[in-house]
Structure 1
Amino acid sequence: MLKLTLLKPLLLLFALFFLQSCSLCTAADTISIAHPIKDPEEIVSSGQTFKLGFFSPGNISDNRYVGVMMNIPSQTVIWVANRDRPLRDSSGFVTVSEDGNLVVMNGQKQILWSSNVSFPIANSSAQLLDSGDLVLRENSNGRILWGSFQIPTDSFLQDMRLGGNTNNNIKLTSWRSPTDPSVGNFSFGIDPLRMPEFFIWNGSKPYWRSGPWNGNVYIGVPGMSSGYQNRFELVNDKGSVFFTHSFFNDSASMYYVLSSSGILLENILYKGSANSKITWTSLRSECDVYGKCGPFGICDPQHKPICTCLRGFEPTDKEEWDKGNWTGGCSRKAMLQCNMNNSSVHNGKPDGFLKFDNVKVPDFADLVEFLKANTEEQCGNLCMQNCSCVAYSYNRGIGCMHWSNGIIDIQQFSFDGADLYIRLTFSELDHVKGKRKQKAVVASIVSIGSVFIAISAYFVWKCLTKYRGKASRMGVLLDNIDQPKIEELPLYSFETLTKATGNFDLKNKLGEGGFGPVYKGRLLNGQEIAVKRLSSSSTQGIKELTNEVVLISKLQHRNLVRLLGCCFEREEKMLIYEYVPNKSLDVYLSGSQKSELLDWRQRAFIIEGIGRGLLYLHRDSRLKIIHRDLKASNVLLDNELNPRISDFGLARIFGSNQDQANTNKVVGTYGYMAPEYAMGGKFSEKSDVYSFGVLLLEIVSGKRNSIYKDENDLSLIGYAWKLWNDNGAIKLLYAPLSDPSMEMEVMRYIHVGLLCVQEMAKDRPNIPTVLSMLNSEISELPPPKLPAYTARLCLSNNEFSQLSLDSVNDVTITSVQGR
C-alpha cells in the first residue's frame, strides 16, 4: 500500500510530461495567438511534407514573404500570403489576431495580410495540413473557417479544387516574375459558363485551353489516354463545378504550377528527392497558343507554315496571312446554300460535311441534349437540319457538340483528339475526292522591301490628306496602289506639336538618333509626349519612319514603347510616343551617378523585361519581328523602371516559316551586331539574341561594350570571357553591388550572357530558352563557347567600318544618344 502511494505522484508527473510532450508535438504544425512564429521560424505539417515560413524569392532581395513551401532543400513555394505587400525586413511574424483571423504583421504590428474571415471566431488556431492546405480552425469543435486552398496562388496541388460558379470561381494566378510573387498577367482555371475545360488567360483573353473534358481526359491534350497516372475528377457540388486531381503513385506526388510567362508546368516530386521534375508543359509548340490561326484556320506544328485554311476557305487578308500574321483567319470561298434559302439542298446538290481526323475541337461548342442526339449519326443529322450549324463532333464521354458561326482554335494532332466535321458547299466536297485532310494554303515568306514602299505612300497620303490634301508635294504616285490595311493612328497638327514642345526648344530636347532629334512635350490636356522629328539631313528617311509606324501600331506589350500618333505636315515627318520619364538605359551605365540607382534586383528585373519584350516580338506578337538594333540607348525606363524597347525603324518582319534573311545594306550599332550580320548581312532571331547578350553583360557590369577596354585592350565581351576562363566571372559585376548572397544568381546571368554572344549563331539559345535559363527553369546550362570578336581584340569604329566595307555588303553604323 505504501509503494502504491509513492507510485501515484510519479505516475501523475509522467502523465503530465506525456501530455505536455504531445502538446508540443501538435503545436509543431499550428499557429495560435499564444504561439506565433517570427522570422525565420517555421511550422511543418505532421507528415513532414510541407512547411510554412518566411522566404525571399531566389534569395536576392530583402523583401520577405510568408508562404507554404515543399519541405525539401530547394526553395519550392506553392502558396504566398502577403504576395502584394512584402515585409521590408526580417521583423515580421504570423499570428492569430484577437478577432480570430490569421494575420501577417510587420515589426510595427501593422497588418500586411489577413485571412479576412467574414465571421471570425476568437478562439481559433491555424494548422498546416499534410495536403499543403493552411486552415484556420475553431478550437472548440475543429470546424474549418478558412483555408489557403480557397485562394490559391500559382500552384494546383492534389485534392485542391479549381472552379466554382460565376460568383466564386477559384483560379490560379501567376507570379509577376520568378522573383516577384505579386499577381501577374496570367490566370488558370475553368469558365463556369462554358463546357468543362481548363483555360489559361492572359489578362481577360484566352491564351491556352485544354479542350473539353470527356469524363476521363481533356481531348485537346494528346497523350492523356495512354496510361496517365494523374487522375482528374469533375465534382458538381450544389451547382458549382470543380476540378480536382490525384496521383496514383505512393512514391511521388504531382502538382501543377502556372509560370510567370503563362505556361502550365506539370511537376513530379519523388520521395527523398531535393528537386521536382517537370514532366509536361502546356506550351509545346506555337500551335498551343489560343487562336493562333484565327477563325476557320487549322494549326499543325509538323507543317510549314504551321497555319493553313480549312478546305473551302481562304485567308481573310491574304497580305497579312503571307506575312505570317494568321490571327485574322479565313473566310468561305462560297456561301453555303443552306444559309441562302434555309434549305440544305440547292439544285439537287446538298451541302455536306468534310471530316478532319485527330484534331483539337474548336472553342465555343454547344452541347446538344443527349436525348436528341446520342450517336454520331444523329449528331450530324441535327446539324444538317440547322442552317446555323457549321460544324459538329461526337465524343462518347461528352456527347454531341455543335458549332455556330465562326470556329476558332483548331489544332491537328498526330494521335488522340477527336473527329471534326466541317460544313461545306457541294462544289467544295466534289473536289475532295476521298481526301480526309484539308488542302493547304501556303503562306509565303514576306518580301518586305516592295511592301513598305506601298505602305509608305498610303500612310503619307492619309496624313497629308487629313490636313492639306497635297500628297503630290511629296512626289507620291497613289493611283492603282493596293492600299494596305494598317491600324488608324491619331494625327497631330504641326501647330499642336510646336506648342507642346515650346517651338522645339533645345531645353526640351531629350536626345538625337539616326532619324533626328527627339523632344519632350506637353499637350494641352497635360499629357506628356516624346516627339521624334525626322531631320532633313537624315540618311534614314520616310521608308524607315513608316516602317516604325507600321510595326509599332500593331504591337502592344508592357515592355515595348507605345506609339500615340504621327504628323506629316509642312514637309515635316514626326512620330509621337508616350513619354518615358527615366530616359534610356545607357544613362544608367558607364559609371554615371545614376548607376547607383539600379540595385541587383532592379537590374535582373530589367534584363528579364527586355527578354520578355523580345519574346513577344519573336514569338507571341501578330507579326514575327527582328529588331536589328537592340542596345542600351534603345531601351527606355518608365517611372517604375520597367524597360521599354524602342526604335523599330530598322526592324524587319519575318514570315512564320522564315528563319533568317540576307541584306546588302547592314544597319545597326557597333558593339551590338552579331558577326554573321556585320560580316555577311545575315540576320535572324539569333542576331537579336546576340544583342541581348551584349546588353545583359553591360547591365551586369555597368560598362558599355562599344567603349570599354581593359589593360589588355579587350572589349567588355573579351574581358568577360577571360574572367570566365579564370573562374573569376563574378568580378564582372558592378562593384558597388557585390553581395555574397546573390553570387549564384549573378553567375547564372553572366553564364547566360556568354551563351548569347557565342561566335556561331546555331550555338546561341533562342529567347524562350534564355528566359527559362535566367529563371532557373533550365537548371543545367551548357558551357559557353568562344564569344564573337574576342579573337580580334577591340576594334575602333573606323577599323570596324573598314573591315565591314571590305566584305560584300555596305555597313551603316548608327550612333544614337540617350533620350
Structure 2
Amino acid sequence: MATRQCAFSRLAATVVISFLLAPLTAAQPPWQICGESGNYAANSTYQSNIGRLSATLPKNASASPTLFATGSVGSVPDNVYALALCRGDTNASACEACVTTAFQDAQQLCASNKDATVIYDPCYLRFSNQNFLASTDNGNPIILENSQNVSSPVEVFDAAVQILLNATGNYAAANSSRRFATGEEGFDSSNPTIYGLVQCTPDMSPADCRSCLGGIITMMPRYLSGRIGGRIIGVRCNFRYEVVSFFSGTSMLRLPAPTSPAPPPASPGEMQDLGQARKSGNKTVVVLAIVLPIVAAILVITTVCVCYFRRRKQTRPASSEQPPYSTNHEDIESIGSLIIDLSTLRAATDNFADANKLGEGGFGAVYKGNLPDGQEIAVKRLSRSSGQGIGELKNELVLVAKLQHKNLVRLVGVCLQEHEKLLVYEYMPNRSIDKILFDPEKKKELDWGKRLKIISGIARGLQYLHEDSQLRIIHRDLKASNVLLDSDYTPKISDFGMARLFGADQSREVTNRIVGTYGYMAPEYAMRGHYSTKSDVFSFGILMLEFLTGRRSSGSYNFDESADLLSLIWEHWSTGTVTEIIDSSLRSHAPGDQVVKILHIGLLCVQDNPADRPMMSTVNIMLSSNTVSLQSPSKPSFFITKSGTYSNPYSESSYPTASQSTGKPGMASPNEVSITDLEPR
C-alpha cells in the first residue's frame, strides 16, 4: 500500500493511490487528507468544537434516511464545519460506528490540523474551519486504483466502465433520494461482469449530482485506464468499480453486455457458398410473401372481434377510474400466508362487539381484537354498502403487503369469507393523530419533541412511498385521521384504499374521480384532477401546519371561525407574528427558531404550483439539517371555503373543476370520511 497522507490544498496534481479490494467495514486502514489551514492548540476552543461535532454528527448521520449529516459549531476564528456521508448500502449502526471512528482517526492521522478528511469504505468525513458546506464543489478528489491490470483490450474495457458509471450516475441522480446507486454490466469471458457504485451528498439537486459525477467519471481514462478496479472520491461525489461484486444486495441497475463486433468480410469461397444459399432461400421468401399477409389479416380480424365482445361485456362507464392494481384472485392467493379465518376474527373481537369498536369511517367500522397468540390487532370491517368495494380492498391489501417501512402501518392479515371484507392491521394504542391533536386536553400529551418526531416519521414514510420503495405510490388521502400512533408515538401512515401506483417514468396522472378530503387536497387535484407525488407533499404541508397550530384545516373548520388555516397562517407569517397562531400548549417550551423553521417548510409544501413544492427527500434534509437555506415561500392562495367551494384566483378562471369537466356536482368530504366520489350512487 502506497503512502496515503497528503496535503489537501496541494492536490493540484491529483494523488493516485493503489489499493486492494476492501470489504464494507471500518476495520480497514483509512485514507486521510490533511489540509493546510493551520493547526489548533491542545485543549483549545477549536478542539472542543470538534468534540461537540463528534458527539452529534455520527448519530445525526445514522438517524437520517439518507445517511448524511452536516453541522457547524462555534464562531470565528474557532468555527468548525463538518460533513459525514455513509455509503447507501450500509445500515444505521454501521454508519454511526464508522463516522465515530473517523472523528477519532482524523485527530490522530491529521494531528492538530484544522482541516482533515478521512475516507473509509462505509463512510467518509471532513471537517474544516472553512465553510465548504456552502458550496457543492467537489474539491480535489483522491484517486484509488486497484493494482491489477485488465486482460481485455484496455480501450474496450475503459469504455465499458464509463458506460456503466454514467448510466448508474444518471440513475442515482434521478431516482434515489440518497443520490446513491449500484449497477452491473456484462463484459467478456475474462471479466464477465463489471460492478459499479456511485454516490453524491443527498443535499445536491439531481442536476448538480449528475454534473459532479460527470466531472470525476471523465477522469477515469486518465488515471485508472486498464485497471480492474478504481475509486475517485471527492467531498461531494464519488464512484467505484470492480470486476467482482463489492457492495451489499443486488444491483439497482443492470446493463446488457456490449453487442458483438461486426464479422470480418467474407472470403471469395465463402461468398460462393453464400450465393448458393441465397438461391435456395428464394423459394422460402416467396412462400413467406404469400403466407405472412394472410396471417396478419387473421390476427387483425381476431383482435377486432375480441375488442368488440369485451366492449359489450363492460358494465361500468368508460369514465370510471380503474383500481391501480389488478384485482385478479391471484393478487390475494399470492399472499396466502396473510389469510385469517373469519371464526378467528369473530373470536378476537367478541363477534365485532360495540364495546370493541375503535371508530367508524366512510367505509365501515374498525374493531380492536386479540389473536390467540396474544397479539393486539385492529380489524377494518367494510360495510356491505361501503363505497370501498372489493377492488379498493384488494388494492389496499396488495399495496400494504408489499410495502415495509417503520412509518407505514403493518398488515397482519385479510379475510374474505361469508360476504365479509376484513383487513387486519397491527393495533395502534394511541389511535389516530386527530383524536389527540384536536382534543383540547389530549393535545397536551404532544409536546414539541413528540410533534417533531411525528412530523419527521410521516416525512420518512412518504419519502419511502414516493422515492425509495420498489413501488412508486401516491397516497391521495393523507390527513390526520389516516396517520396512527403506536405506544411510543411513532407515526404509521394508514388507509391505502385510494392510493395509486405510478410507473418509474410517470410524473403525473389525471382522473375525473376525485377521492380524498377537502382541506388536504392540492389545488391541481381538487380543481383539475391532476395528481402526483407533489399532491401528497401538499397534504403533508397541511399536516405540518396543523401540528403547529393545533387547528384543523379549512375542510373541517368551525363555522364561527372566519378564515381558513392557510390564510390565517400567511397573515401572521407576513406580519412576523407567528407565535400568536402557535398552539397554546407549545408556546411556553417550543424553541422559537425551530417553530419558524417548521412553519417555513410547511408553507413551502403548500405552494400553489406543484413545481415549487419540494420532494419529500428534500423535506427530510430540511428537517434534519440546520445549514440548508430555505427559499422564501409565496402566498398560498388556494383554499376551500366553508360552503365547500374553491377559491384560487390564479387557477379558477383558467381551468374547470373536476366536477365541471364531468358535469357532476362536487361534494366536499368532512374530515372523518376518506373518499369523495363524484359518481352518484
Is TM more than 0.5 here? yes
State the Cα distance separating 1:644 from its structure 2 match: 0.5
2:196 equivalent in structure 1: 360
Which secondary structure does the structure 2 equivalent of 1:512 belong to?
A: strand
Which of 609, 612, 619 lines up with 2:460 in the alignment?
Answer: 612
Report the AA paired with residue 557 of structure 2: Y
Distance 1:399 1:586 in 2: 50
Distance 1:200 1:280, change over 3 A: farther
Which secondary structure does the structure 2 equivalent of 1:552 belong to?
A: helix
Distance 1:812 1:628, change over 3 A: farther
State the Cα distance separating 1:768 from its structure 2 match: 1.4
Which of 605, 608, 614 lines up with 1:765 in the alignment?
Answer: 614
Q: Deviations over 1:624-643 (max 9, x none)?
A: 11110000000000000111
Which of 796, 811, 818 lines up with 2:643 in the alignment?
Answer: 796
Q: Deviations over 1:702-724 (max 9, x none)?
A: 11112336977211111001111
2:562 equivalent in structure 1: 713
Distance 1:457 1:173, change over 3 A: closer
State the Cα distance separating 1:622 from its structure 2 match: 1.4
Q: Deviations over 1:179-228 (max 9, x none)?
A: 9x9xxxxx988xxxxxxxx6752358999x9xxxxxxxxxxxxxxxxxxx
Give 1:639-654 correspondences, 5 Å limit: 639-654=487-502
Which of 55, 58, 73 lines up with 1:79 in the alignment?
Answer: 55
**Percent identity of paired positions between Structure 1 and Structure 2:** 35
* Alignment check: 8 A CA contact 1:508 1:521 kept: yes
Which of 51, 62, 77 lines up with 1:68 in the alignment?
Answer: 51
| Corresponding position: 1:744 with 2:586 | no
State the Cα distance separating 1:454 from its structure 2 match: 3.7
* Alignment check: 8 A CA contact 1:756 1:765 kept: yes
- Number of residue equivalences: 491
Distance 1:720 1:500, change over 3 A: same
Which secondary structure does the structure 1 equivalent of 2:329 belong to?
A: helix
| Corresponding position: 1:774 with 2:605 | no
Structure 2: tracts of 5 or more residues without a match: 1-40, 72-83, 139-163, 176-180, 199-225, 232-239, 265-319, 648-655, 675-681
Distance 2:241 2:567 in 1: 64
Distance 2:253 2:324 in 1: 33
1:109 equivalent in structure 2: none
Distance 2:610 2:566 in 1: 16
1:48 equivalent in structure 2: 45
Distance 1:741 1:550, change over 3 A: closer
Which secondary structure does the structure 1 equivalent of 2:430 belong to?
A: coil
Give 1:51-130 correspondences, 5 Å limit: 51=48, 68-69=51-52, 77-79=53-55
Report the AA paired with residue 597 of structure 1: E
| Corresponding position: 1:536 with 2:408 | no
Which secondary structure does the structure 2 equivalent of 1:575 belong to?
A: strand
Give 1:241-260 correspondences, 5 Å limit: 252-254=115-117
Which of 159, 168, 175 lines up with 1:300 in the alignment?
Answer: 168
Distance 1:395 1:721 in 2: 55
Structure 1: tracts of 5 or more residues without a match: 1-43, 53-66, 70-76, 81-151, 156-171, 182-186, 190-197, 210-231, 234-241, 282-295, 308-326, 337-350, 363-391, 413-419, 434-447, 463-485
Which of 536, 553, 572 lines up with 2:420 in the alignment?
Answer: 572
Distance 1:205 1:682, change over 3 A: farther
Distance 1:329 1:302 in 2: 11
Which of 540, 546, 559 lines up with 2:394 in the alignment?
Answer: 546
Distance 2:249 2:586 in 1: 54
Distance 1:700 1:743 in 2: 12
- RMSD, aligned α-carbons: 5.1
Which secondary structure does the structure 2 equivalent of 1:510 belong to?
A: strand
State the Cα distance separating 1:598 from its structure 2 match: 0.6
Which secondary structure does the structure 1 equivalent of 2:515 belong to?
A: strand
Distance 2:524 2:471 in 1: 23
State the Cα distance separating 1:809 from its structure 2 match: 7.6
State the Cα distance separating 1:449 from its structure 2 match: 6.8
* Alignment check: 8 A CA contact 1:590 1:703 kept: yes
State the Cα distance separating 1:737 from its structure 2 match: 1.4
Distance 2:337 2:184 in 1: 26
Relative to the length of structure 1, the TM-score reads: 0.51
Distance 1:652 1:689 in 2: 15
Which secondary structure does the structure 1 equivalent of 2:597 belong to?
A: helix
1:429 equivalent in structure 2: 260
State the Cα distance separating 1:508 from its structure 2 match: 0.9
Structure showing greater relative contact order (alpha-carbon pairs closer than 8 Å, 6 or more residues apart): 2
Distance 2:171 2:92 in 1: 30
1:590 equivalent in structure 2: 438
Distance 1:728 1:408 in 2: 52
Report the AA paired with residue 795 of structure 1: K
State the Cα distance separating 1:742 from its structure 2 match: 0.4
Which secondary structure does the structure 2 equivalent of 1:302 belong to?
A: helix
2:310 equivalent in structure 1: none
Distance 1:570 1:673, change over 3 A: same
| Corresponding position: 1:455 with 2:327 | yes
| Corresponding position: 1:409 with 2:251 | yes
Distance 1:678 1:741 in 2: 34
Report the AA paired with residue 302 of structure 1: N
Distance 1:306 1:502, change over 3 A: same
1:415 equivalent in structure 2: none
Q: Deviations over 1:327-370 (max 9, x none)?
A: 999999xxx9xxxxxxxxxxxxxx8579999x7269xxxxxxxx
| Corresponding position: 1:784 with 2:633 | yes
Q: Which has the higher strand share?
A: 1
Distance 1:719 1:49, change over 3 A: same
Which secondary structure does the structure 2 equivalent of 1:687 belong to?
A: helix
Report the AA paired with residue 660 of structure 2: D
* Alignment check: 8 A CA contact 1:522 1:529 kept: yes
Distance 1:637 1:202 in 2: 25
* Alignment check: 8 A CA contact 1:500 1:523 kept: yes
